[in-house]
Homo-oligomer: A and B are copies of this chain.
């Protein structure tokens, strides 16, 4: 039987003095002031145990990790029709993210790239009466923690500087793949990305993906079939243009955000969240990637 606490401690020891920690995301001004030395891990096992190390209880901006959660909330509302508005294929490389959208007539490659997540945000804005409030409650319930909240400064900071997202949303609108006003959809989107959570809260919120759709409180949120599909999307699309590399090196479904968080999971076993704010050139947490590689190497646990 694997001694997970020992594994996490070893990884933490191996990496805590690492000098090269990548660069903290600077394109959102509010995120650029984070202390790059922070580093934490939290593992929640199906058997009820949990293990943690380092700065696991410090909240950070989950950013793109939120895309998995909005997708989960949107799926039951819009059902399979959603796949007519967004595809499930890996996006390949990022240098031409808008060109792909143009070449493919406004159908984003998958729901985990920005353009795809904007379509999902549009679905939620269309179907919810108070989208921001209801989504926040959804996440609080998933994680079983009512203290989770948006960081309104981060949301505002991104609203003022998120020109690429404005470009993507307008392009979607030009292709008639956005029902609501661009500003309304972006307002929701910037808030979902601004959610602040710590490693424990994220491991709890993603618990249902390891647990056949049943969340930490025992409520069933998604059918096993949908869980399986979302896990597949995370594996093939969860790491920008490093999805192949992550599958290759780590071998777990997961999702990263430019806040430096990465959540990953082994179905029927556990969820694990790693956080360190410095990013590698592809936008994924540098220490986070290394920590998860060490984790699957040491434990030999992976879906492959």
Contact = CB atoms under 8 A, between A and B. Distances in A.
Contacts of A103: 93, 95-96, 99
Q: How many copies does the complex hold?
A: 4
Contacts of A98: 98-99, 102, 167, 171
A99 to B, nearest CB: 2
B95 A92 contact: no
B233 A248 contact: yes
A34 interface: no
Interface stretch (A83-91, A126-134, A140-148): A83-91
Interface stretch (A4-12, A14-22, A192-200, A235-243): A235-243
Nearest to A230: B304
A277 interface: no
Interface string A9-52: 00000000000000000000000000000000000000000000
A225 B304 CA distance: 9
A174 B170 contact: no
A260 interface: no
Interface string A166-177: 111011011000
B174 A243 contact: no
A263 interface: no
A247 B224 contact: no
Interface of A: 87-93, 95-100, 102-104, 109-110, 163-164, 166-168, 170-171, 173-174, 182, 224-225, 227-229, 231-233, 235-237, 241-245, 247-249, 251, 253, 267, 297, 300, 302-304
5 contacts: A88-B244, A96-B103, A98-B99, A228-B304, A267-B303
